[in-house]
Amino acid sequence: MQEAWQQQLKECVTTPQQLTELFAIDATPLEAVAARYPLRISRYYLDLIEAVDDPIWRQCVPDVRELNAEGLTDPLGEENLSPVPAVIHRYPDRAIFLVSGSCATYCRFCTRKRKVGCSSMSLSFRELREGIDYIAATPQIRDVILSGGDPLLLPDPVLGDLLDRIHAIPHVEMIRIGSRIPVTLPQRVTDRLCALLKRFAPLYINTHFNHPREITEAASAACAKLADAGIPLGNQTVLLRGVNDDPQTISELFRGLLKIRVKPYYLHQMDLACGTAHFRTPIATGLKIVKALRGPLSGLASPHYVIDLPGGKGKVPLLPEYIEQRGERLLIRTQAGELVEYQDCR
Ligand SMILES: *Cc1c(COP(=O)(O)O)cnc(C)c1O
Ligand code: SF4
């Protein structure tokens, strides 16, 4: 039997033609963008749009600027860190396990936009099994992070089966799930899903709110259900030009998240993924925002501001001791102590 959320997924907007009809705009120029990077917007998320080009619109509606070739196809060098196709293993004790190739809404700024929603991202059972076998054969891995795509788009039995297998590996101490479902399809957070997830404690969920208007009643209810099931909730926000790149919006967002029991975990500097250049902000913007939050806001609302350096050099907290300005050049010190030149935007 199909669940209500599965029905909702079928009703997603997936073509520029539908946008033309819904918003009385000419979306023909977006055909080429959607042909390159898939378009999908859940009806729920679409309903959050109040006006063309508002912060919700910008996150989900294709933009011709995505065809700008500037940027890297694999900005984090993830492909070099994949011992098997479904696993990204950069840090010894934790690994990302890509278990789903699709999302309820495709974010236009996605770092994996070269892959999500495309056939190259759809994972076969064999690839999932190889992922589990790799984790089982690698005793250093204590922390498994399910990602994708959106792991919570998997049907309950498939998700349950995967979690069972990971949970059964003796050296895996905890599981994390990265999911934007509470933001883009909160109806997916059913009582049955919560009961299922509860069995795998300690299981953490990191979700992905970027704007205070995403904290709706439905999103709050979804987070409440998860929190009531004993699941600690964190949030990863991406700093996006024209969406949330000012202290006012970010502080409203972080305060709102704490009210729904979601702890701001990371504020991410946009990475250099191809087709996302128009979202990029200079590092100085992020530093200014972080500084404005410290003091006025609860320490709980002060996440680490991080950058994931190109070429798989890892995440670095953007603190003064990691940044060196030499004239026009901006250098960032990696965790390994190496100084890397960073192409900041203006
Ligand atoms: C970000 C990331 C993780 C998780 O890092 P935490 O700082 O522990 O949240 C794990 N693996 C890869 C490849 C990552 O990019
Ligand atoms: S939900 Fe996450 S993986 Fe999916 S498109 Fe958005 S950022 Fe990318």
Domain edges within the chain = 69-319
Q: Which helix (H) or strand (E) holds 146?
A: strand 143-147
Does the beta carbon of 108 lie inside 6 Å of ligand 2?
no
Instruction: Determine the 3-state secondary structure of 26 from DSSP.
Output: coil
Summarize pLDDT for 88-102 with one digit per residue, the tens: 999 999 999 999 999
CATH code of 69-319, in short, is 3.20.20.70
Rounded to an integer, what distance in angstroms lies between the CA atom of residue 113 and that of residue 235? 20
Q: What angle do CA 114, 306, 325 make, to 5 degrees?
A: 105
For the packed helices 247-259 and 283-293, what is the interaxial angle rounded to 10 degrees? 50
Q: What is the pTM of this model?
A: 0.95
Average pLDDT, the chain: 93
Q: Which of 5-9, 140-144, 316-320 has the lowest mean pLDDT?
A: 316-320
Residue having the nearest C-alpha atom to atom 8 of ligand 1: 94
Summarize pLDDT for 226-237 with one digit per residue, the tens: 999 999 999 999
Neighbours of 124 (CB within 10 A): 10
Per the annotation, the verdict on 213 as an active-site residue is: no
β-bridge partners, 238: 268
pLDDT-derived band at 121, boundaries 50, 70, 90: low
Cβ(102)–Cβ(146) below 8 Å: no
Per the annotation, the verdict on 65 as an active-site residue is: no
Rounded to an integer, what distance in angstroms lies between the CA atom of residue 259 and that of residue 268? 21
Does the beta carbon of 96 lie inside 6 Å of ligand 1?
yes
Cβ(30)–Cβ(37) below 8 Å: no
Out of 108, 113, 188, 315, pick the active-site residue: 315
Cis amide bond preceding 149, omega within 30: yes
